[in-house]
Amino acid sequence: MVIYEAEVPGVGKRYEIETGNDERLVVIVHHDGKRQIFRRDGPDADAEKLFDLSSKQAREAATVLEGADFQPLDLETADVPLGDAIMEWVEVPEESPIAGQTLRDAQVGERTGATVAAIQRDDETLASPNAEAAITPGDILVVIGSRTEQQAFQSLLETGQ
C-alpha cells in the first residue's frame, strides 16, 4: 500500500492512501485533532468529502480498523469446521440476470456447486430455502461453497454465466 504525506500550511497534514483501482482515501489531520475524510477516484480527480471526525472519534475508528478488538481469520490458512467451504453474504444487484428467477430456474447448485443456505429479504429471513424460492433484487443470499464455487456464484449473479 502506498501512502503519500504532505504538509498543509496552517491546517496540518494530508495523507493519501492508494486503495486500488486508482481510488484514494484522503485524510486531512488538523492541528486541533479534527480529521476530514475524502475519497478520490484517481490521482488527478477532485476529492469528494465523505465526513469529519473529532480527535476522539478518529482514535476509536483507528482502533476498529487496526483490529484491536477483533482479528479476522486468514481464510487461506484457517482450519474451519466447513472444510474448504466458506460462507458469504451476497446482495443481489438490481441488474442481475438471475433476479426474478427461482433457485431452481437459476440452477445455482448445478452451475456453481454453491448452496444458498438462507435468503434475507427486508426484515424476513427464509432459512433453508427450497428450489421454488425466488431471487429478487436487494435480497441478501447466504451462500456456502468453496472459494471456486463462490467465484462461480458471483459470476452467475453478475453475468448469468
| Model pLDDT, residue 84 | 75
Residue with cell 429471513: 125
Residue with cell 477483533: 70
Query: For residue 96, what are the contacts with CB-CB under 8 A and spacing of at least 6?
Result: 135, 137, 157, 158, 160
Q: pLDDT tens digits for the chain (161 residues)?
A: 789 999 999 999 999 999 888 899 999 999 999 999 999 998 889 999 999 999 999 999 988 888 777 766 565 655 555 667 888 899 999 999 999 999 999 999 999 999 999 999 988 999 999 999 999 999 999 999 988 999 999 999 999 88
Distance CA 63, CA 153 (A): 34
| Model pLDDT, residue 78 | 54
| Model pLDDT, residue 104 | 94
